[in-house]
Amino acid sequence: MKNYDADLIIVGGGLVGAALALALKNTSLSIILLEGREPALDFDLASWDQRVYAISRASRKLLTKIGAWERVRTERLSPITSMKIRGDAPNAKLEFNALESGVDELAYIVENRELQRALWLALADSANVQIITPAEPESLAIDHDAATLTLSDSRELRARLVIGADGANSWVRRQMQIEAHSKPYAQFGVVANFSCEKPHYGAAQQWFKTDGILAWLPLPQQQMSMVWSCDESQKDELLGLKPELLAEQVAAAGHRALGELKLVTPPAAFPLKLMQIETCVKTRLALVGDAAHTVHPLAGQGVNLGFGDVAELANLLTKTHPERIGDLLVLRRYERARRESVLLMQTVCDGLQQLFNNQNPILKSLRNFGLGFTDALPWIKRQLIRHAMDS
Ligand SMILES: Cc1cc2nc3c(=O)[nH]c(=O)nc-3n(C[C@H](O)[C@H](O)[C@H](O)COP(=O)(O)OP(=O)(O)OC[C@H]3O[C@@H](n4cnc5c(N)ncnc54)[C@H](O)[C@@H]3O)c2cc1C
């Protein structure tokens, strides 16, 4: 029996799943997008989301192509025009700026919810995408002819291909018994937003400290978003502080580079881990985004890797005859195309995390020397920045 409810079902309508559905909008493929929680599209514009992302130039290109970027409101966007990275010795620094890289900006900072809203609005008038939310998938079976997904309301959906875009704890991945190798960092990303006494001029700042990695990302309206990757006890301490004391501690940790700070959005914490899987494809199955890989947020590349998956998979699916989109041989091309970029980013972020989360005095001197040395070599700096912008 070969009647299908759709050519493909995407489980998870977060940034990556929604972007994939949008990248396939107006193609001949029929799509069902299942999302557990309907995202809030109408939120209080006086507030700011704790989750913000540094969107690389490559991701912006994809988001522009699929019609999402134009829906991100400019007043919610902040371009990064320079980056200042500091080690834990006074002269250990590395600086990049857009001008010397020959571009207007290195990346853009945007809130999670604003980007989610843009993607969902752009999806609204898709003739070939059916959205089911809230949806609770209960079982997934794959056989020679189809992938069959049963929802908790007993609806049965048959498709040629199922995509798991359902995040780091992917239900789809578990159903398909794809083993995930996780390496918890024993660290949490503590995030919060602050208004600043001094302007940031579009600079992203990062301090590699002995007790963690602190990043300040520019937000509109003279505000900044913090990601402090630290151990559990420090996370508990930061979350337990009164707003003024938290602002004081964060300002002091960043050497008051933006003067005094005032808490705008209360802090939240996310456990950090590296997650790798043996394969991201099986017959009639592909995984994208955090369902397929996670990285330490020190380079702000997690969702950018997911958008890289989207660009590659959408390109492959649109060039393949619909009858063949579930073939393992076809899907393996997606896996091969993504393997190197994902592994490289995971290895670099993991290596940096280990290098800086280490009290060994030799390593400490080496890493600080490395930052200063790289800063003094314009060619290497240009290569590094090109890779970060365009990956
Ligand atoms: C502290 C921190 C800071 C970060 N900073 C950055 C940054 O600056 N830049 C960057 O690129 N990345 C960053 N990341 C990484 C980024 O958050 C993730 O890579 C990104 O959110 C992954 O998107 P996703 O759509 O794959 O998964 P998710 O965002 O996890 O979305 C999964 C979606 O699937 C839905 N879902 C889950 N299960 C089901 C189910 N069974 N049925 C139906 N729907 C389901 C969920 O409701 C959700 O909407 C950061 C991460 C952390 C922790």
Going by C-beta distance under 8 Å and a sequence separation of 6 or more, which residues neighbour residue 146? Answer: 2, 4, 158, 159, 160, 284
Average predicted confidence (pLDDT) for the chain: 91
Residue ID of nearest Cα to ligand 1 atom 30: 167
pLDDT on residue 375: 64
- Residue closest by Cα to atom 3 of ligand 1: 297
In the predicted model, what is the mean pLDDT of residues 315-328? 97
Whether residue 248 has pLDDT greater than 90: yes
Q: Is the pLDDT of residue 37 over 70?
A: yes
Decide: 267 in ligand 1 pocket, CB within 6 A. no
Q: Flag whether pLDDT at 36 surpasses 60.
A: yes
pLDDT computed for residue 117 by the predictor: 97
d(CA 271, ligand 1 centre) in Å: 13
pLDDT value of position 47? 95
What is the DSSP track for 299-361?
A: GS-HHHHHHHHHHHHHHHHHHS-GGGTT-HHHHHHHHHHHHHHHHHHHHHHHHHHHHHS---H
In this predicted structure, what is the pLDDT of residue 56? 93
**Which of 209, 242, 204 lies closest to 228, judged by CA?**
209
pLDDT reported for residue 95: 85
Distance of CA 140 from the midpoint of ligand 1 (Å)? 22
Q: Quick check: helix, strand or coil at residue 387? A: helix
Pocket test for ligand 1, best of 53, 348, 353 (most atoms within 8 A of CB): 53
Give the H/E segment covering residue 234: helix 232-240
pLDDT tens for each residue of 50-66: 999 999 999 999 999 99
- On the question of pLDDT at 366 being above 80, the answer is no
pTM here?
A: 0.93
Q: What's the pLDDT at 298? A: 77
Report CA(307)–ligand 1 centroid distance (Å): 11
Two structure tokens written together for 308: 């890289």
The neighbouring-strand residues paired with 93 are 86
Cα 55 to ligand 1 centroid, rounded to whole Å = 14
Report whether residue 15 contacts ligand 1, using a CB cutoff of 6 Å. Answer: yes
Structure tokens at 173: 């991945």
DSSP assignment, residue 294? B
92-115: average pLDDT: 90
Which pLDDT score, from 0 to 100, does residue 222 have? 97
pLDDT tops 70 at residue 373 = no
- For residue 218 and ligand 1, the question of a CB distance below 6 A is answered with no
Higher pLDDT, 85 or 262: 262
Which atom of ligand 1 lies closest to the CA of 271? Answer: 53
Which residue minimizes the CA distance to atom 52 of ligand 1? 297
Q: In which band, very low, low, confident or very high, does the pLDDT at 296 lie, cut at 50, 70 and 90?
A: confident
CA-to-CA distance for 238 and 222, rounded, in angstroms? 23
Categorize the per-residue pLDDT at 22 as very low, low, confident or very high, splitting at 50, 70 and 90: very high
**What pLDDT, on the 0 to 100 scale, is given for residue 344?**
87
Say if residues 335 and 309 touch (Cβ distance below 8 Å): no
Ordered by start, the domain boundaries in the chain are 6-66+113-182+274-352
Percent of the residues in the chain that have a pLDDT greater than 70, as a whole number: 90
- Report the 3 state secondary structure along 92-161: CEEEEECCCCCCCCCEEEEEHHHHHHHHHHHHCCCCCEEEECCCCEEEEEECCCCEEEEECCCCEEEEEE
Closest residue by Cα to residue 87 from 249, 219, 255, 292? 255
- Using the mean position of ligand 1's atoms as its centre, give its distance from the Cα of residue 168 in Å: 7
306 Cβ below 6 A of ligand 1: yes
Q: What is the DSSP letter of 77?
A: -
> CA 174, 180, 183: angle at the middle one, nearest 5?
140
Write out pLDDT tens, residues 134-158.
999 999 999 999 999 999 999 999 9
Does position 1 have pLDDT exceeding 60, yes or no?
no
Using left for φ > 0, alpha for ψ between -120 and 50, and beta otherwise, residue 287 falls in beta
Distance 167 CA to ligand 1 centre (A): 5
Q: Which two tokens stand for residue 383?
A: 């290569």
The CA 19 to ligand 1 mean position distance, Å, reads 12
Average the pLDDT over 371-376 and give the result.
62
Q: How far apart are CA 305 and CA 34, in angstroms?
A: 21
Cα first-last separation, the chain: 42
Q: Is the pLDDT of residue 179 over 80?
A: yes
Considering only the top CATH level, what class is 6-66+113-182+274-352? alpha beta
For residues 296-314, average pLDDT? 91
What is the band of 208 on the pLDDT scale with cuts at 50, 70, 90? Answer: confident
Q: CB of 300 closer than 6 A to ligand 1?
A: yes
Q: Which comes out higher in pLDDT, residue 372 or 294?
A: 294
Average pLDDT of the segment spanning 182-187: 86
Per-residue model confidence (pLDDT) at position 383? 64
Query: Does the beta carbon of 16 sit less than 6 angstroms from any atom of ligand 1?
Result: yes
Residue 312, ligand 1, Cβ within 6 A: no
- CA neighbours closer than 13 Å in the CB half-sphere of residue 279: 12
C-alpha 359 to ligand 1 mean position (Å): 31
What's the Cα-to-Cα distance from 71 to each of 81, 95, 291, 366, rounded to whole Å?
22, 32, 26, 45
Q: Count Cβ atoms below 10 Å from residue 372 Cβ, excluding itself.
A: 14
Closest ligand 1 atom to the C-alpha of 191?
1
| Residue 53: strand pairing partners | 110
Residue whose CB lies within 8 A of the most ligand 1 atoms, among 290, 294, 301, for a mutation test = 290
Residue found under tokens 């309301």: 153
Distance CA 211, CA 343 (A): 26
